[in-house]
Amino acid sequence: MNRTLCTGFLLAVCIACLIVGFTYNHFFILVGAIVLVITSAIQFPFREEEGWECSCGYDLSYMHKQSTKCPECGKTAQLEWSSMAGELPRKTAKRLYQTVFFMVTSLVLFLIFAVLVFFKQ
Ligand SMILES: [Zn+2]
| Per-residue confidence in pLDDT tens, the chain, 121 aa | 588 899 999 999 999 999 999 999 999 999 999 999 999 999 988 888 888 888 888 888 888 878 888 888 888 887 777 667 778 888 889 999 999 999 999 999 999 999 998 887 6
Query: Quick one: 100 and 121 in the same domain?
Result: yes
Q: How far is the CA of 70 from the centre of ligand 1 (A)?
A: 5
**Same-domain check for residues 83 and 104:** no
Residues 28 and 64 reside in one and the same domain:
no
Looking at the fold, whether 75 and 60 belong to one and the same domain comes out as yes
Expressed as residue numbers, the domain containing 30 is 1-46+88-121
Domain match, 76 and 96 both: no
Report the separation in Å between the CA atom of 12 and the middle of ligand 1, taken as the mean of its atom positions.
27
DSSP labels for 17-59?
HHHHHHHT-THHHHHHHHHHHHHHHTT----GGGGGB-TTS-B
- State the total domains in the chain: 2
Interval between CA 66 and ligand 1 midpoint (Å): 16
Residue 91 has a pLDDT of 84
Same-domain status, 93 and 53: no
Interatomic CA distance for residues 60 and 54, integer angstroms:
6
Provide the pLDDT for residue 1. Answer: 52
Whether residues 70 and 93 share a domain: the answer is no
Q: Tell me, what's the pLDDT at 6?
A: 92
Burial class (CB in 10 A: 0-12, 13-18, 19+), 79: exposed
